[in-house]
Amino acid sequence: MSMTVDIGIQTLTIGVESGGKMEYLTDVQALLITAVLLQLKHWIADFVLQTDKMIVEKGVYGSSYGVYHSVIHAVGTFLAFFWVHPIIAVATAIIDFILHYHIDWAKININKKYNYTPKDAKFWYWLGADQMLHQYTYIILLGWVFLFF
C-alpha cells in the first residue's frame, strides 16, 4: 500500500494504492483525517508532554520552556499535514508555532496580571478561551489548506 500526493492548481488529490488501483480520498475525507490528527497532537502536546516547568515558563516571553512547548506543537502540526504535502506541513507548522506561543503567553499573563488561580472562575474562562483559540487556529489552517490548495 502506497500513497501519492499531487498538488494541482486548485485541486488537492490524495490517493492510496490498494490492490493495484488508486483510490482517491475526497477533500472532506482528507480534511477530517487531518483534523483528527491535529486533535490528537493537541492532546499529546498540551496534556501528555507538557511539563510543570513549561506551564510556568511559557508566561515569560522568550523562555526556552515556552518555546520548546510551542516547538512540540509545531512538530505535531508538521506531522499532521505531512501526508497532505511536505511544503504545506512546513508552512502550517511555522504558523502554528507562532500562534500557539503567543496564545499561551497571553493567557498566562492575563492570569498573572489579575492573580487568577484554578480556584477562580475567570482562570477557567481564560483557559477555555486559550483552548478555543487553538481550535480556531486548526480550523483556519485546515480551511487555508483545503480551500486554497
* Structural domain boundaries in the chain: 27-148
- Tell whether the model's pLDDT for residue 89 goes beyond 60: yes
According to DSSP, the residues that pair with 23 across neighbouring strands are 16
Mean pLDDT (whole number) for 81-106: 97
Beta strands in the chain (DSSP E): 3-7, 12-18, 21-25
Q: 511544503: which residue's cell?
A: 87
- Tell whether the model's pLDDT for residue 79 goes beyond 50: yes
Place 71 in a pLDDT band, splitting at 50, 70 and 90.
Answer: very high
Mean pLDDT (whole number) for 141-146: 96
123 versus 25: the higher-pLDDT residue is 123
Mean pLDDT (whole number) for 108-127: 97
Mean pLDDT (whole number) for 4-22: 60
Place 16 in a pLDDT band, splitting at 50, 70 and 90.
Answer: low
- Read off the pTM: 0.84
Q: Are 74 and 96 in contact (CB under 8 A)?
A: yes
Q: How far apart are CA 92 and CA 34, in angstroms?
A: 12
According to DSSP, the residues that pair with 12 across neighbouring strands are 7
